Structure 1
Amino acid sequence: MKNLNPEPTEDIPKQHTPITQPKMSDLEDDGILNIEVSDAEDTPAEKKAKRTGQSEAEFQAVRATYVTKVQNGNIYQQIKLPLQPGASKMDIQELLHAVEELYFFRRYEEAIDFTAQILQGDSKAALDSDSVQLLEKYEAKCKVKQDALNTPTQV
């Protein structure tokens, strides 16, 4: 039977390396606090380019003509229909806000009439598909709510 763990022969010298504890200075070099700071932080921040090419005089001219828009309800009465094709995003947003306002104040019948006027008229050509879908969704929700109001509840 063969010996699976043969003893080293005497002609092969044993290599024995003593285990030494690391010094404190060795640990400091490899520790978590070993952070190097680059000189890139010492350079001044680059100045950002202007977002608009507007001069100070142009800005002051626009500022002088600016008027704050205050809305205290009934947005739908201030909207001029039909919207023309190529209407601005702000015009479309105002249209959506008007329908949302009517829905929020539970004026479902008015919201249904207003959305029908938009979707069946010439204004629909000015709307994108997302806006049309949103208006159709509000119209459907208003119809459900209006039907629920008109249906007598059973006791």
Structure 2
Amino acid sequence: MDSGLFNISLSDSEEEDQTSSNNNKGNDTNGTNTGSSRSDRTALSQADFDALKKTYRPKMENGEIFKTITLSLGESIAKPDIQELLHAVEELYFFRRYDEAVRFLHDVLGGDEDDKASCLDNDTKTQLRYYKAKCVQKSGKANASVTASR
């Protein structure tokens, strides 16, 4: 009895990949015969891998993201740019460079009466203002501890 209700077929994704690659084996999107599967097209030979490995350099995040950000905030700003802005502030905060973070955030947000960041959404502005307040607070504590130790 096949009612159709709860007639769900569960399968393993490897089986689907193999059957779909077997069905499509030798054909590209134009229907022409290529004679290779997806794994053949995406695999690197050992020599190619070694050549790529020699040129690879990991990206080092050392508290300098904020120097790469251009502060010409226009009418609209793309989401990746907003993410980079937040990462820059978070990185300065993480490395305890509070004074630099405050100066950077002042350049981005402006003063209390300015609204340089009108192109940013409210959530981003709220988060940046939060970081600015925390950095001002931490900067004051850091400066107080330095003067107390002298």
Instruction: Give the TM-score, by structure 1 length.
Output: 0.53
- 1:56 deviation in Å? 6.8
Q: Which structure exhibits the higher relative contact order, with contacts defined as CA atoms closer than 8 Å and separated by 6 or more residues?
A: 1
**Secondary structure class of the residue paired with 1:95:** helix
Matched, 1:127 2:120: yes
Counterpart in 2 of 1:147? Answer: 140
Partners of 1:82 and 1:113 in 2: how far apart? 16
Counterpart in 2 of 1:14? Answer: none
Number of residue pairs the alignment of both structures matches: 100
The structure 1 segments of at least 4 consecutive aligned residues displaced by more than 2 Å after TM superposition are: 36-44, 68-73
> 8 Å contact 1:82–1:123 — kept in the other structure?
no
Aligned with residue 70 of structure 1, among 29, 49, 59: 59
- 1:70 deviation in Å? 3.1
Partners of 1:123 and 1:79 in 2: how far apart? 15
- 1:82 deviation in Å? 1.9
More helix, by proportion: 2
* Percentage of pairs with the same residue: 39
Which structure is larger by alpha-carbon Rg, 1 or 2?
A: 1
Structure 1 pair 91–149 and aligned structure 2 pair: CA distance change class (3 A): same
Matched, 1:138 2:131: yes
**Secondary structure class of the residue paired with 1:125:** coil
Q: Which amino acid aligns with 2:118?
A: A
Partners of 1:141 and 1:133 in 2: how far apart? 12
Give structure 2 stretches of 5+ with no counterpart. 17-27, 31-56
Q: Which amino acid aligns with 1:89?
A: K
RMSD: 3.6
Counterpart in 2 of 1:87? Answer: 77
Q: Which amino acid aligns with 1:128?
A: D
The equivalences for 1:1-155 within 5 A come to 40-41=7-8, 70-73=59-62, 74-120=64-110, 123-152=116-145, 153=148
Instruction: Give the TM-score, by structure 2 length.
Output: 0.55
